[in-house]
Structure 1
């Protein structure tokens, strides 16, 4: 079965409708709530603007959760399809729109994961890219570390992975993560603690195996 074509975000100007057409126009940058209200009236430009704002982060969340760019794009497309079809039900001020997007995306990812189920490196100390262009050896080292972290992340239980992705990669607070996952802040902290412990253990084991492999090859 072929996948639905993925709708890429596009750069648009401030949405000013032509005479006699339906659309929206703002002198200032519109809020997410204003854009959703416009989407509820069928304004495609407003929907594209929401995608421009939020699609990259939602796709990144999906890729971290699912380990697949193609699956992440499918999830992101489903999220924004729900924005288009459910915009009229949105209640401004009840919650942040970005939080709602993260909740929908996270739940879709967890659903997919359940259906498909059949010295140490510290997750809090993953090195930032150097300001100068690294040499070949350094780039290889960074690539190996990124691959080990990704493999360790994908090995986490689903809820622990979601907590780590929301907190570490998406930069959300524990309160926001709790709202997205539908659990208490204390439960999020517990998930994060267990996830970090498992990540440290996995990365330490892989580092030891890598060093032994290098010793044997010399």
Structure 2
């Protein structure tokens, strides 16, 4: 099957096609999934090299289990998010201090240098505040509010109940609001 004809094929079907020897399906799934798992790892780890390693490891694990994949039991994205979260958690546990300040912000065509600096300060403050959250709260907040996943999918990724996800995200949001409350003016969120 040609790569350009695979855009409408589901992730699960692409994985099964790959397991049956279809290299174009592997390329299509790799192009679709790698940026997503890298972004999740980058947000959790704050280190580009480590995030690349995690993304590569997660994709390698996906390829290794392809032949045993049972369609309908889980979504490929859910499985990958869980693997990435676990790999990141393992790395964070081995590394007690997370240097969030060292994360360079990607260039995204800001309208002005001042706006770029403001956005960088806001992102830096957010990542610093995220780093202070307990690990499970941080993971839930990132998956919900940065990755944009729904609570049922997060529950499946984290292997907890939907109610637990709601609790973790609510506590995480409160902790973030508290951590950032004194910085509203500095970050350009003044009411005036």
Matched, 1:193 2:170: yes
Q: Secondary structure at the match of 2:182?
A: helix
From 39, 42, 55, the counterpart of 1:76:
55
**Partner Cα distance (2:67, 2:94) in 1:** 30
Tell me the alpha carbon deviations over residues 27-49 of structure 1, each in whole angstroms, 9 at most, x when there is no partner. 88322222111221343332221
| 1:165-184 superposed matches below 5 A | 165-184=142-161
- Tell me the residue number matched to 2:91: 112
Shift of 1:133: 5.4
RMSD: 2.4
TM-score by length of 1: 0.73
- 1:14 equivalent in structure 2: 2
Q: Which ranges of structure 1 fall in alignment gaps of 5 or more residues?
A: 1-12, 17-25, 119-131, 212-218
Q: Is the 8 A contact 2:6 2:25 kept in 1?
A: no
Correspondence for 2:8: 29
TM-score normalised by L of structure 2: 0.82
1:99 to 2:78 alignment: yes
Instruction: Say which of 177, 181, 185 aligns to 1:204.
Output: 181
Match of 1:216 in 2: none
* Larger helix share, 1 or 2: 2
SS in 2 for 1:117: coil
Q: Deviations over 1:139-176 (max 9, x none)?
A: 22222111111111122211111101110111110111
**1:135–1:98 Cα change, 3 Å:** same
Partner of 2:125: 148
Say if 1:133 and 1:144 are closer, same or farther in 2 by CA, change over 3 A.
closer
Q: Does the aligned pair in 1 maintain the 2:58–2:84 contact within 8 Å?
A: yes
